[in-house]
Amino acid sequence: MQETTFNEETQTDGTGVFTSTSAWLNALYTEASLKKFDELDLYHIISREISFAKIEQKINYVFKDKKHLIHAFMQSTFCYEMKEKNLSSNERLEFLGDSLINFIVGKNLFDLYKENNEGDLSKLRGALVNEEKLAELARTIGLGEYIFLGRGEFKSNGADKDSILADTFEALFAAIYFDSNNDIKTLEKTFKHIVDVFQDATKKYFYSLEQLVDYDTKSKLQELTMAAHGIFPTYKAQELPAGAGFHVEVWLGQKKLAEMSGVSKKKIEKLLAKQIIDQKLY
């Protein structure tokens, strides 16, 4: 692998900036020790050496201040790796971004489904604004390529974990909110663009009521097992070694109904519930 100094305008072969954060991190972590630079230098180096043009094109928004964008991608494990720099992670941005996305989706559902009551709209919003769905939107725009991760999380492919993708997606919207001078219209336009990209790629309507069927499978399975047997199913999860995810089993009393392994425990549980319902295993 070519040498990269992280303190020059170009790499040693004369090429320019890295095309993604993941490429920059790969160069950073392949060295014996982390590069030494202070916090201000770090932001300057990142903005100079990593091109964010691709992700800005995909979200249809160009940041006026790249520090807002970089901050949105600062996952806590990277900040811990660089703990002597006293960097701020994107966790506070996640908090605000969650509220902003809930507002945008809630407003769109309010306009789309005028005959549905508050309960229906709340359930549908919950089916759309959750870790799994936000991670799907994040993957649509290649968000994982730009997340700053600690060495361990980077090597274990943390950029493809639903939880990290969803959190970063929320942080991104808070960053856009601040960069656009608190302009909700800009946020709505950006979210619509990403949803359009998602719909074009998957051929699925994002705001479809069918989302409720997949989202609420665990509740549906509870209703079915209670009606048929008078008991609820139980989910037994075991964490796999080396951060490989989880192995989940679904039991009804003393009978094991189904089992599956995967990265996201919540996603596995919903997939298992759907499988049990579809195959009438209860």
Q: Which of 277, 214, 216, 211 is nearest to 250 (CA)?
A: 277
List the single range of 42-51, 98-107, 173-182 with lowest mean pLDDT: 42-51
Q: State the pLDDT at residue 31.
A: 67
> Mean of the pLDDT values across residues 74-80?
94
Among candidate residues 170, 179, 216, 269, the one labeled active-site is 170
Residue 1, pLDDT above cutoff 50:
no
Q: What's the rounded mean pLDDT across residues 215-225?
A: 87
Q: Cβ contacts of residue 278 below 8 Å, gap of 6+?
A: none
Tally the C-alpha atoms within 13 A of residue 131's C-alpha that lie toward its C-beta: 12
Find out whether 281 and 257 touch, Cβ atoms under 8 Å: yes
> Is residue 75 within 8 Å of 89, Cβ to Cβ?
yes
Quickly state the pLDDT bin for 237 (edges 50, 70, 90).
very high
Using 50, 70 and 90 to split pLDDT, how confident is the model at 63?
Answer: very high
Q: Which of 45-49, 109-113, 232-236 has the lowest mean pLDDT?
A: 45-49
Rounded Cα distance between 141 and 119, Å, is: 31
Choosing from 81, 94, 98, 162, the catalytic residue is 98
Average pLDDT value for the chain = 89
Q: Do domains 21-209 and 216-278 have the same CATH topology?
A: no
The CATH number of domain 21-209 is 1.10.1520.10: yes
CATH number of 216-278: 3.30.160.20
Read off the pTM. Answer: 0.78
- Residue 98 falls in the annotated catalytic set: yes
Helices 162-179 and 91-112 pack at an angle, to 10 degrees, of: 80
Q: Which of 18-27, 64-73, 144-153, 168-177 has the lowest mean pLDDT?
A: 18-27
Note the pLDDT of residue 10.
45
Q: How confident is the model at residue 36 (pLDDT cuts 50, 70, 90)?
A: low
Q: Is the pLDDT score of 13 beyond 60?
A: no
Under the banding of pLDDT at 50, 70 and 90, the label for residue 2 is very low
* 33 pLDDT tier (thresholds 50, 70, 90): low
Is residue 84 pLDDT above 80, yes or no? no
What ranges do the domains of the chain cover? 21-209, 216-278
